[in-house]
Structure 1
């Protein structure tokens, strides 16, 4: 039995991890995820990856979310955009001046994955609408949660419907199949200011109180394919 869950409303790719991303009309998806997603990251001399938090793998580097990244043609070199949307001629030279650190570079993924957890993050409009209602005085859109896909769900769909997908396979469009595994545990990056979104602790506080600090559905690729805006998402 198949269950229609919604349609793909927006597709996001983040060429340089922890920066703002780019909206796409379509993109190939393989075992690693969206082609080129988080393929690059800001890395320091110790090999730590620039992020909004400090962990064994990540180094907190405030300000990255005010930047954006995109690919122009090829995936061998991303373009980094400053807070005003101006492209930096040399991403590494720019990031060193921006962060005031000479030990960082914009580096391609090597042996260590740039992903926090699994390669695909899916968020529904039903859950996003709940966040807006829980923090009505704070500007909220999906950029705060950095999904790859925003799926528009039918009217009346309950928030956190993504939880019902765990352990299920879905077909997205004609050929792409993904396996939903679990949700992301949210961190302070959810509250962080980025571009036109102000800092606010209310968002993470609401998610923690209502849903154990978890939001979205994380997935792996079962069958590669091309993802397109308007694709139907169907649970199998």
Structure 2
């Protein structure tokens, strides 16, 4: 039995990890995820990647979310854009000035994955609408949670409906099949300011209280293909 749970509202790719990304109308998807997603990162002298948190693999580097990244058409190396949206000529030199660190560089993924967890993050409008209602007065959109796919769900769909998808496979359009595994545990990055979104500790606090700081559905790629805006999401 199959069940259509929504349609793809927006597609996001983040060429440089922990920077603002680019909105796409169509994207190719391979076993690693959206082609080019988080393929580059800001790496420090210890080999840790710039992020919103400190862990064994990641180094907190405040300010990265004020930057954006995108792939110019027909290229495989991303552009870095400054907070005013101007393309940076020499990304590594700019990052060293911007972050005040002389040990960072823009680096392509090698043996250590740039992903925090699994290849694809999927978020529903039902859950996003709940977050907005939970923090009135704070501007919230999907950029705070950095999903690859925002799924438009039917009216009346409950918040955190993604939980019901874990262990299920889904066709997204006619070419891409994924399997939903679990949700992301959210960190302070959801509170961080980025472009026109202000800093607010209320966002993470609300998610932690209501849903153990977990939000979205993480998925692996079963059948590589492509995805486009408007594609139906059908649970199998």
TM-score range, shorter chain: over 0.9
> Offset of 1:102 from its aligned partner?
1.2
1:93-104 correspondence runs (5 A): 93-104=93-104
Gap regions ≥5 residues in structure 1 = none
1:109 matched to 2:109: yes
Deviations 1:164-214 (A, max 9, x none): 000000000011000000000000000011110001011100000100110
> Offset of 1:75 from its aligned partner?
4.8
More moved, 212-221 vs 65-74: 65-74
Q: Which residue of 2 aligns with 1:67?
A: 67
1:171 matched to 2:179: no
In structure 2, distance between residues paired with 1:184 and 1:2:
25
In structure 2, distance between residues paired with 1:10 and 1:202:
25
Deviations 1:132-164 (A, max 9, x none): 000011000000000000000000000000000
In structure 1, distance between residues paired with 2:225 and 2:77:
23
1:51-200 correspondence runs (5 A): 51-200=51-200
Deviations 1:108-131 (A, max 9, x none): 000000000001000000000000
In structure 2, distance between residues paired with 1:73 and 1:48:
29
Indicate if the aligned counterparts of 1:118 and 1:220 stay in contact, CA closer than 8 A. Answer: yes
Aligned to 1:195, the other structure's residue is in SS state coil
TM-score when normalising by structure 2: 0.99
TM-score when normalising by structure 1: 0.99
Aligned to 2:17, the other structure's residue is in SS state coil
Q: Which residue of 2 aligns with 1:47?
A: 47
Aligned to 1:150, the other structure's residue is in SS state strand
> Offset of 1:10 from its aligned partner?
0.2
Q: Which residue of 2 aligns with 1:28?
A: 28
In structure 1, distance between residues paired with 2:74 and 2:166:
34
> Offset of 1:73 from its aligned partner?
2.4
RMSD over aligned CA atoms reads: 0.6
After the TM superposition, which parts of structure 1 deviate over 4 Å for at least 4 consecutive aligned residues? Answer: none
Indicate if the aligned counterparts of 1:36 and 1:75 stay in contact, CA closer than 8 A. Answer: no
In structure 2, distance between residues paired with 1:60 and 1:82:
19
Gap regions ≥5 residues in structure 2 = none
Q: How many residues align?
A: 236
